[in-house]
Amino acid sequence: MASSSFLFLFLFLGSSLPLFIFTNGEKVPTLPNLTTLSFEEGYTQLFGDANLMLHRDGRRVHISLDERTGAGFASQDLYLHGFFSASIKLPSDYAAGVVVAFYMSNGDMFEKTHDELDFEFLGNVRGREWRVQTNIYGNGSTSIGREERYGLWFDPTEDFHQYAILWSHERIIFYIDDIPIREVVRTPAMGGQFPSKPMSLYATIWDGSNWATSGGRYKVNYKYAPYVAEFSDLILHGCAVDPTSHRPTCEAADAQVYNFITMSSEQRSAMEKFRKKYMTYGYCYDRIRYQTPPLECSVGSEAGLFLSSGEAKLYDRRRHGKRHRRNTADADI
């Protein structure tokens, strides 16, 4: 990217969700309006039978967890890069052990070398808020696990909030509403562990009793079932890929446009404030899992990595002998 080019991404979260890029103060052609899709236009049910229910308008879907099963759905197409989002309302009341996931993956095609980009919503006991975790896996790098975890500034059970993933060849940005909460820039240090193969988009609800709340201490209590997660404003805007050849079906120029999307200074400032206040776990600061941090962590704040006071206290406790669970991100923070 030429240094003389001054690129900003303005993300307007209205009904049509247009994205614009400004270069040297002038608007240039970029993504068309990001209109929402009906469920039948873009998705198919994965599992759950009657635990997936469509609203009469076809644009809102409920997935639920009960003693019998969870539920899930997936995009009909594979995508190589794009902007993917949904407005989600999480189950209320006691939700310990419940996991709601909104994510991209190709694990069904690449069992040992899969890529994945996750929003995982982790339920909690009554009186404690849901937590949000983001994960990034590339080329089967689940043993490294680039997890981060956050609190929220709102109650995600009271209303819908938008969660979005922007994925390009150069960077990955996670958004909550209009705030970027995490950016991962492709670096030589990550090598082939930056997600690079076509993925589908998924949404699921399931029983994570063995790890999701306090490392498995609190289980799903089916007395409060069904646990219902609601999805609306579904957006799939990406470069679709032929499922047989794995070649993009979009024009080359359309595929490249995502590479030029970045953040405005205001968005970057908002991200830094969010991370300093609400991030409670970051893999780059986990000295139990990684005595020597992964190489990309050396870029520090340039990659938007910030250590919160809560994180520092957590690591201090663990250095003094607290038991290490499934991984450090699994503890109730």
- Where do the DSSP E strands lie in 37-97? 43-47, 52-54, 61-65, 71-75, 78-89
**Cβ density class 122-139: b for 16+ within 10 Å, e for less:** bbbeeeeebbbbbbbbbb
With 70 as the cut, is the pLDDT of residue 194 above it?
yes
Report the C-alpha dihedral over residues 115, 63, 216, 93, rounded to 10 degrees.
140
Catalytic, out of 120, 147, 296, 311: 120
Q: Is residue 49 predicted with pLDDT exceeding 90?
A: yes
**What tens digit of pLDDT does each residue of 112-158 get?**
899 999 999 999 998 889 999 999 999 988 777 799 999 999 999 99
What is residue 263's predicted lDDT score, i.e. its pLDDT?
A: 84
Among the ranges given (146-150, 202-206, 282-286, 321-325), the one the predictor scored with the smallest mean pLDDT:
321-325
Task: Give the chain's mean pLDDT.
Answer: 81
Question: Over pLDDT 70: what percentage of the chain?
Answer: 78
Please enumerate in sequence order all residues whose Cβ is within 8 A of that of 187, keeping only pairs 6 or more positions apart, or say none: 194, 295, 296, 299, 303
Q: What are phi and psi of 233, to 5 degrees?
A: 50, 50
Range with the largest mean pLDDT of 31-45, 90-104, 187-201: 90-104
CA atoms within 13 A on the CB side of 82: 23
Domains of the chain: 35-330 (2.60.120.200)
Handedness of CA 177, 180, 184, 185 (dihedral sign): positive
Collect all residues with Cβ–Cβ distance below 8 Å to 122 and sequence separation of at least 6.
98, 99, 130, 131, 132, 133, 149, 208, 212, 213
Alpha-carbon distance 303 to 309, whole Å?
19
Provide the pLDDT confidence category of residue 313 given band limits of 50, 70 and 90. Answer: very low
In the prediction, which pLDDT does 208 show? 97
Active-site residue identified among 40, 116, 183, 266: 116
- The count of C-alpha atoms lying within 13 angstroms of the C-alpha of 250, restricted to the half-sphere facing its C-beta, is 20
Q: What is the DSSP string of 163-223?
A: EEEEE-SSEEEEEETTEEEEEEE--GGGGGGS--S-BEEEEEEEE-TTTTTGGGTS---GG
In this predicted structure, the answer to whether residue 99 has a pLDDT above a threshold of 60 is: yes
Whether the per-residue pLDDT at 11 is higher than 50: the answer is no
Query: Is 116 among the residues known to form the active site?
Result: yes
| Cβ-contact 10, 22 below 8 angstroms | yes
Comparing 4-13, 172-181, 194-203, the range with the smallest average pLDDT is 4-13
With a cut of 50, say whether residue 232 has pLDDT above it: yes
**pTM to 2 decimal places:** 0.83
Active site residue 120: yes
- With contact defined as beta carbons under 8 Å apart, do 22 and 188 qualify? no
Tokens of 297: 């962590």
